[in-house]
Amino acid sequence: MPNLMPLGSHLVTPRTGYSHHGIYVGGGRVVHYSGLADGVTAGPVEEVSLAEFTCGKGYDFKRHAGAMYIGEAVVERARSRIGEECYAVFSNNCEHFCEWCINGDHQSDQIDNGTVATGLSGAALAGNIAKGVVAASGSAVGLSGAGIMSGLATAGGVVGGGAVAGIGVLGAGPGLAMASLVNNTVLKDNPALDQDERDSRAVGRKATYAGAAAGTVGSIAAVSAMGTTAGLSGAGIASGLAAIGGTVGGGMAAGVVVATAAPVAAAAAVGYGLYKAVKWFKK
């Protein structure tokens, strides 16, 4: 019953494919970032009836242990942003808004979980694409040892290198693409955010590219060190890739997938992870 609902309650109502969030402000009214709730056009922060907010789909409460603000203070914060039109589904959505009202923090579990999933799925995709490129591009076609080494050498030849450079080329490109994706979605700057949040995102944006580069260097170092034949000679690379692939139950081809996927995963993990760490230290 609305009359028994505590002021400042964080309400969550189901939508197709996601959850919509709002703050109960009393009198059967809710302040929310309308965003895409009413269609394809992003809307402002607005105050609506509880019925309009739920669209007949019911609602639940999200509990906040140790909330920074409660009751009237949450209501005041929610109403202070009415009219704001800086909605961004990945970086300033309805859940970010509610978390800011209650905890003073731009946080979205939906986006956190989605970023992890995107990094992992992007890494897997990049690795499998690299395996296909290696199999098709060398003078010895296929995924035999000779075929893989030939394919890597061909890929590395694009930048004037050999098989070692091939590992770097096949991992660095997708890694930089993932860094750009994260930077232009979940870590995108937004003038409506407080300065601490904007500063934290700026650090994260720089770290995504550093993560991609570190992932590439780390992959090459792992290939060099893990095989029975150490180093980056042809035999060393083949041995290292086989050893890496063996950790996931495969051979050299699986090693190519893992080694070239690492920069993609690192770009997302390092950039977003450092952003979260900076936010934590600033609190």
User: Over the stretch 82-111, which tens digit does the pLDDT of each residue have?
Assistant: 999 888 877 788 888 999 999 887 766 656
Domain check: are 118 and 93 in the same one? no
Domain check: are 204 and 252 in the same one? yes
Residue 2: pLDDT over 70: no
Dump pLDDT digits (tens) for 46-72. Answer: 999 999 999 899 999 999 988 899 999
Are the C-beta atoms of residues 174 and 129 closer than 8 Å to each other? yes
Cα separation, 63 vs 98, in Å, equals: 12
* Per-residue exposure over 164-201, b if at least 16 CB sit within 10 Å of its own CB, e if not: bbbbbbbbbbbbbbbbebbbebbbeeeebbeeebeebb
Higher per-residue confidence, 84 vs 159: 84
Task: Identify residue 39 by its one-letter amino acid code.
Answer: G
Radius of gyration of the chain (CA): 24
pLDDT bucket at 112, cuts 50 / 70 / 90: low
pLDDT bucket at 139, cuts 50 / 70 / 90: very low
Residue 81: pLDDT over 70: yes
Are the C-beta atoms of residues 247 and 259 closer than 8 Å to each other? no
Q: What's the number of CA atoms in the CB half-sphere (13 Å) around residue 272?
A: 27
Domain check: are 251 and 270 in the same one? yes
Res 7: pLDDT: 95
CA 32 and chain centroid, separation: 24
Angle at 44 between CA 42 and CA 46, to 5 degrees: 135
The enclosing domain of 76 has a CATH number of: 3.90.1720.10
Please give the DSSP secondary-structure letter assigned to residue 156: H
Dump pLDDT digits (tens) for 25-52. Answer: 999 999 999 876 555 556 899 999 999 9
Residue 123: pLDDT over 80: no
Q: Identify the weakest region by mean pLDDT among 118-122, 229-233, 262-266.
A: 118-122
Higher per-residue confidence, 130 vs 274: 274
Whether pTM > 0.75 for this model: the answer is no
Domain boundary among 46, 75, 107: 107
Domain check: are 222 and 277 in the same one? yes
Are the C-beta atoms of residues 273 and 200 closer than 8 Å to each other? no
Dump pLDDT digits (tens) for 196-223. Answer: 888 988 988 888 888 888 888 888 888 8
Domain check: are 135 and 237 in the same one? yes
Domain check: are 155 and 99 in the same one? no
Res 168: pLDDT: 78
Domain check: are 132 and 59 in the same one? no
Higher per-residue confidence, 279 vs 179: 179
Domain check: are 234 and 172 in the same one? yes
Q: Which residue range(s) make up the domain with 275?
A: 111-282
Domain check: are 172 and 150 in the same one? yes
Domain check: are 122 and 247 in the same one? yes
Domain boundary among 86, 107, 128: 107
Number of domains in the chain: 2
Cα separation, 43 vs 54, in Å, equals: 16
Residue 275: pLDDT over 60: yes
Q: Is 39 left (phi over 0), alpha (psi -120 to 50) or beta?
A: left
Residue 262: pLDDT over 80: no
Domain check: are 22 and 93 in the same one? yes
Domain check: are 93 and 121 in the same one? no
- Percentage with pLDDT > 70 across the chain: 82
Domain boundary among 53, 73, 107: 107
Higher per-residue confidence, 67 vs 146: 67
Q: What is the mean pLDDT of the chain?
A: 80
